Amino acid sequence: MAMTSHVTTWRVNPGRGADFIANCAEAKKLHLKMGATQVWVTQTISGGNSGTITYMMIFESGEKWGKFSDSISSNTEWQALWAKIQQNPSAVIVDQSMYSDLGI
């Protein structure tokens, strides 16, 4: 089965880096509990989106990602965290992408 990744790129609002990283740490715990195999939080150091932070969830397969995606709207822990984050956002989404490993 091909690994599937869901990647969100964020531009952190000035002075809000610590808040954003704390939110990512909370989200990572929940996303792993909800079925992500791995979660990576990385900072872009070169290229068109330098300085942005990428939040990447990796799933064992597209099927596992689908189950995760189907459950996100009914997961009360995630909904509570997302509502809290949206009250005073520490970053804005620059891009979202899905990737599928080619297995080579």
For residue 102, being part of any structural domain is answered with no
DSSP 49: T
The residue assigned the tokens 């091909």 is 2
Pair 24, 91: CB distance under 8 Å: no
Domain interval for residue 84: 4-97
For residue 19, being part of any structural domain is answered with yes
pLDDT of residue 55: 98
For residue 104, being part of any structural domain is answered with no
For residue 58, being part of any structural domain is answered with yes
The residue assigned the tokens 């992408």 is 97
Helix (H) or strand (E) holding 69: helix 62-72
> What's the whole-model pTM score?
0.91
Q: pLDDT tens digits for 9-54?
A: 999 999 999 999 999 999 999 999 999 999 999 999 998 888 999 9
For residue 103, being part of any structural domain is answered with no
CATH of the domain at 54: 3.30.70.100
**Minimal CA–CA distance to 6: which of 26, 29, 33, 35?**
35
Judged against a pLDDT cut of 70, whether residue 75 lies above it is answered with yes
- The number of folded domains in the chain is 1
* Confidence class for position 103, pLDDT limits 50, 70, 90: confident
For residue 77, being part of any structural domain is answered with yes
Judged against a pLDDT cut of 80, whether residue 71 lies above it is answered with yes
Judged against a pLDDT cut of 70, whether residue 67 lies above it is answered with yes
What amino acid is encoded at 78 in this protein?
A: W
Mean pLDDT score across all residues of the chain: 95
* Confidence class for position 1, pLDDT limits 50, 70, 90: low
